[in-house]
Amino acid sequence: MKLFRPLLQRPVALLWGGLALSAIGDELFAIAVAWMAVQVAGSDASWLGALRGAAALAGALLGGIWAERWDHRRTMIGADLVRAGLALIPLLAWALGCMSLWSLAVPVMLMMIVNSLFEPALRASLPRLAAAPEQLQALNALFDAIIRVARVIGPMLAAAITLLIPLQQLFTLNSLTFLISAWALMKLGKALPRQPIKLTSRRAAFTAGWLSLVGRRRMQAVYVCAGLGNVAWSLGISIGMALAVVKYDIQGFGVHGFAAYGLIMAAYGAGNLIGIFVVGNLQLRRLYGGFSFGSVVNGLGIAIIGAAVLYLPAEHVLAGMMFGAGLAALGGPVIDISFILLIQTTFRQSEIAGLARLRFAALGASILIAGACGAALYARFEAGTVIAGSGIFEIIAGTLVLLVPNGNEHAVANNDESSQREYRPRPQG
């Protein structure tokens, strides 16, 4: 299959394997944190999302200034080693009997700062690993599939593991997976040789991503609408589903509580996996249209989750939520792959890391907004109403991209004659 063709290259296979394992560990960490936060703080657990978003925003805008000067492979190795240590903080807090929202928030915030360095370095490294330009979409889809596969395996694995060991030990497993990922990156010395140090001023590094978007109105709209869509996703999926399961004691298929939440997340992961297989084997020719289509599908699925909570009989709510989660997940890969391909195929190689960092900053800002609003919204309105409203909001945000004219976007690129040799073929639409 076209999606798996890049795995025939040993460096790609090694990197993919290490990151896939750490992504599964990260999913175990996220599930444990989300569940513990709701147990400890109830609806106030939404503030954990706000702090997480603030950390991601700060890391992308400030930490990235220094990261732009660093070698990408070494940045990723260092990030994995740091995250391996941070993953153990909640376990230590539990062992000392001082588990609280802050004992979860601190490692989550620090991890998001480190992630803001890792993700741009990874995305900037992928074009260097592509054997040919036409493999770039499959390569991006393959690495995007890491998160999608983890969302399938993670919840089911978490439910199974917690039958044998305490929930807190999921943090230990996450730490081990980061160490394995760091080892895999260390083995890529020749495939990703060290880059020359970029003598860039702090001001230039800070504004790099912003300046690349000057004159590109539709691409600016993609950043804005992606941020708005992620606000909806955070409210409806990241915050809303766990809260709804706890608040309404949703159960079915012989399970309840954490196991019911795990089933919903597994359905989301399965939808993600199906979506990434489709995206990885079909050529996306109209990337702006793909971004909008993915947003509409994602928003529709979130709205169905909310409707299931509001209107279905109690015995069918879990099945309805699983169906909505699976549908929402189908749109995720289309959104993410369209977005990253727009960055990698429209801009110069030297601009990719800055634009990926800006994308991570937008992600952090949206998580911050969702977390800050979530506590108030879920305290005032029914959980199903907030979730359904979030889905409708994402549908609107996704369609707005197609209403923004291209302006002089192509003219700006075509006038930059000195950089044309570095451009990938630019898709239309």
Contact assessment for residue 406 and residue 428, using Cβ atoms and an 8 Å cutoff = no
Residue 241 carries which DSSP code? H
How deeply is 8 buried, as exposed, middle or buried, from its count of CB atoms within 10 A (0-12, 13-18, 19+)? exposed
Q: Cα 105 to chain center, whole Å?
A: 18
Contact assessment for residue 308 and residue 241, using Cβ atoms and an 8 Å cutoff = no
Distance, CA of 133 to CA of 120 (rounded, Å): 19
Closest CA to 248 of 374, 387, 101: 387
Token digits of residue 179: 């160490």
Distance, CA of 232 to CA of 215 (rounded, Å): 28
pLDDT of 91 > 80? The answer is: yes
Task: Look at 207 and 105; give whichever has higher pLDDT.
Answer: 105
Rg of the chain in Å (alpha carbons): 21
- Which pLDDT tens digit goes with each residue over 234-261? 899 888 888 898 888 898 888 887 778 8
What mean pLDDT comes out for the span 343-358?
A: 78
For residue 46, name the pLDDT band (cuts at 50, 70, 90): low
- Which pLDDT tens digit goes with each residue over 155-202? 777 767 877 777 778 888 889 999 999 999 988 877 777 766 555 555
- Which pLDDT tens digit goes with each residue over 268-286? 878 888 887 887 777 777 8
Q: Which helix (H) or strand (E) holds 252?
A: strand 251-252
Distance, CA of 359 to CA of 60 (rounded, Å): 9
**Does 3.90.1490.10 match the CATH number of domain 2-422?**
no
How deeply is 412 buried, as exposed, middle or buried, from its count of CB atoms within 10 A (0-12, 13-18, 19+)? middle
CA end-to-end distance (rounded Å), the chain: 26
- Residue listed under structure tokens 């999921």: 170
Number of alpha helices (DSSP H) and beta strands (DSSP E) in the chain: 17, 2
pLDDT of 16 > 80? The answer is: yes
Distance, CA of 77 to CA of 193 (rounded, Å): 14
Task: Look at 36 and 312; give whichever has higher pLDDT.
Answer: 312
Alpha-carbon dihedral angle through residues 318, 323, 324, 325, given to the nearest 10 degrees: 80
What pTM value is reported for the model?
A: 0.69
Contact assessment for residue 244 and residue 383, using Cβ atoms and an 8 Å cutoff = yes
Residue count of the chain, please give it: 429
Stretch among 7-16, 61-70, 83-92, 282-291 having the lowest mean pLDDT? 61-70
Locate the domains of the chain by residue range: 2-422
pLDDT of 333 > 80? The answer is: yes
What mean pLDDT comes out for the span 118-141?
A: 75
State the pLDDT at residue 195.
Answer: 65
Stretch among 191-205, 212-226, 322-336, 397-411 having the lowest mean pLDDT? 191-205
